[in-house]
Amino acid sequence: MLNKMKKHARAIIGIIPVAITLAIPNKILGQQKPSGFRFDPPKVHFSIQVGGDQTKPENDIVQFVSKRMTLDPKDFHQGKIAMEFGVRLNERTDIDFEMVFAGFGVRSEFRDWVDNDDLPIQQTTQIFKSTYGLNVKKYLRNRGERLSQFAWIPTGWAPFVGAGGGLAVYEFSQKGDFIDFQTSEVFGADLKSRGHGALGKVFAGMDFYFGSGWGLTTTWQYAWLTSPMNGDFQQFQPLDLGGLGGQFGVRFLF
Can you give 42-111 as a three-state secondary structure string?
CCEEEEEEEEEECCCCCCHHHHHHHHHECCCHHHHCEEEEEEEEEEEEECCEEEEEEEEEEEEEEEEEEE
> What confidence score (pLDDT) does residue 146 get?
83
Looking at the structure of the chain, the number of domains it has is 1
Q: For the chain, give the percent of residues with pLDDT over 90.
A: 75
- Structure confidence by residue, pLDDT tens digits, 97-155: 999 999 999 999 999 999 988 999 999 999 999 999 999 999 999 998 888 777 888 88
CATH of the domain at 90: 2.40.160.20
Per-residue pLDDT at 94 exceeds 70: yes
> What confidence score (pLDDT) does residue 181 get?
86
Per-residue pLDDT at 40 exceeds 90: no
Per-residue pLDDT at 202 exceeds 90: yes
Per-residue pLDDT at 21 exceeds 60: no
Give the residues across from 146 on adjacent strands.
152
DSSP string, 148-185: ETTEEEE-SEEEEEEEEEEEEEEEEEEEEEEE-TTT--
Mean pLDDT over residues 23-38, rounded? 45
Where is average pLDDT lowest: 25-29, 74-78, 79-83, 193-197? 25-29
Q: Find the domain containing 228 and state its range.
A: 2-253
Where is average pLDDT lowest: 22-26, 80-84, 127-131, 220-224? 22-26
Res. 3 pLDDT band, cuts 50 70 90 = low
